A and B are shown apart, each in its own frame.
Chain A
């Protein structure tokens, strides 16, 4: 059977254009005849599979196809075949129900044979809704030559739905089995409808519905998990820089959100700069990452050297001071770029939706941000573990005096650490520009969440920050369906407060003497 279909497909592929060249015009001429001749011509056009037939048939179905007394066909005053201006003395061609039926079939076939994946899928979706046993044959033919898995799935659903409407119980049973293999709420609805129509098949239908329900449930779980991971990755990005400045250095930087915001605006600037250079433009976003890192790292270094270092050992003052700095940065950006949102264009490779097996839909940009957040985490860990700078940083954190006697310039290390944390925040800004509005107060929304992640995960632990971010993201998204977005957020905040009761030092607490300093 499949072998035959494959042969048929090959045959159609090569033969159809040949036959079309031979007979297309002759067949079209048949449309000017009587109802019987029209119906035959329509069916033959459908079988020919020549896309030129589509506008003509559509005109016929809409009553816009006209014939001159000589039998020449015209659409809206132009010759139907050549497109040349047509004589005016023409009359509209009328059709009857038989011709209409033939037209539906022909459309289905023609569109199912279209070169565009989207059109074929749309045609199959149309036939799914039509649910007519007449389409069984057409769909079987189309499936035989279809190669695109996505379109195949739609066609199979349409075929199953069409079979469900067949008079023959055996065919209907086939349809039920096919629908039961999908994870489509529409298929579920069809099955429930069919249950009242054919009580004899109730057990099969129930089994099929149960199978669909299970698959839908699984998909929901998978989608929630993805959304949770996605939110978690955003939280991770926002919190990672803070995990360095607050977690490692103990400096509370309330302007952290503004560093994220500056990173997002760097993306805007880079994009504007590259707008005139077409070959470079698609690279604007990737190039924004180092640019944002450098810009925010420079701002961070300046902030640390100029202001924060004078307040070491006075965390509450540092908190207030950096809040003021954040205000100034926000207002400066507001005056420079305007208060309204700036648009950042996603490159083509970040747009669109991927459908995973099982029908789980995943937006590309969210997927990229998850990957990006893990990359940034990896880079951060690597920088702390394996570089000279990381070594000096850890030395200064553990014992400033001894580090300084070993010849480490602690002031420079402080500035670099703070610049590093700020730079990470800037890179987070590049990613967030893809999913959030780029406005001067972009950062305010993230600062509290970031602190919650760091405190929840355990101050000073990057692993804790990662696990904290993903846990909070998942919990938030799990709660959302029943609590709503705002209450879920509030519940998470309250949950963290209660959690801190049990473990005041977070998930990954430092223990012993080091923690008591």
Chain B
């Protein structure tokens, strides 16, 4: 049921600046992949391309045989691609419960939303997720009053409610304590069993904790790929990170 994410020869040009340069990558179903790279390497732009926020200048982007370059953000999300942003964005005016309820996989057209009645099974799923992200006792607090880490968690919870086949997670542990970071790594590892997960992260310790295959990006293209030890010993990667 899960699909393959397939990027081939993707380039994006902003006013002459090549944000992505002939980028190719394949994410297998159920795979957990970490992407690292210096600032401006094109990591966020790559996520923008996959989720339909930005259109590529050239190249192919496919997920489970759907051409993502022709779909808008909502349609891509409904294909089962979920995204967590670098800056946590939850809906401040809504409660934790309502945030999760909105993310819940259910018909999303206005008429269905108007007639929506929360069934008991859905209610249980939301409660289970709240327990998983440690926000069970905050169900009816507005998201605005949550701490930074709790907002990160809530956003991950919303991703889970979407039941995506592919999760794109941008710097999930920024601003988290060590303990929270560890918890997050465990959660992502667990999720990866059923879904593909792509994590963009600066924190190499966290990447090591994930135990995933690592892709190093630089100047809009793939510099190196392999296990964390492999890429850490790659001469080109060292040059990029330490400077020539």
Contacts and interface: CB of A to CB of B under 8 A. Distances in A.
The answer on direct contact between A and B (beta carbons under 8 Å) is: yes
Interface of chain B, main secondary structure:
strand
Nearest to B53: A516
A511 B15 CA distance: 6
Nearest to A512: B14
Contacts, number: 6
Main secondary structure of the interface of A (DSSP, over half): loop
Interface in B1-43: 14-15, 17
A470 to B, nearest CB: 26
Contacts of A512: 14-15, 17
A512 B48 CA distance: 13
Contacts of B17: 512
A513 interface: yes
Contacts of A513: 14
A488 B45 CA distance: 43
A508 to B, nearest CB: 12
B221 to A, nearest CB: 19
Nearest to B54: A516
A76 B181 CA distance: 116
B55 to A, nearest CB: 12
A219 to B, nearest CB: 44
Contacts of B15: 511-512
Nearest to A510: B15
Contacts of B14: 511-513
Interface in A499-514: 511-513
A256 to B, nearest CB: 30
A432 to B, nearest CB: 37
B229 to A, nearest CB: 34
Nearest to B14: A512
A511 B16 CA distance: 10
A343 B17 CA distance: 55
A130 B190 CA distance: 104
A511 B13 CA distance: 10
A513 B17 CA distance: 10
A296 to B, nearest CB: 35
A286 B17 CA distance: 47
Interface in A458-517: 511-513
A511 B12 CA distance: 12
Contacts of A511: 14-15
A513 B40 CA distance: 12
A451 B17 CA distance: 31
A509 B17 CA distance: 16
A513 B45 CA distance: 10
B220 to A, nearest CB: 14
Nearest to A513: B14
B130 to A, nearest CB: 32
Interface of A: 511-513
6 contacts: A511-B14, A511-B15, A512-B14, A512-B15, A512-B17, A513-B14
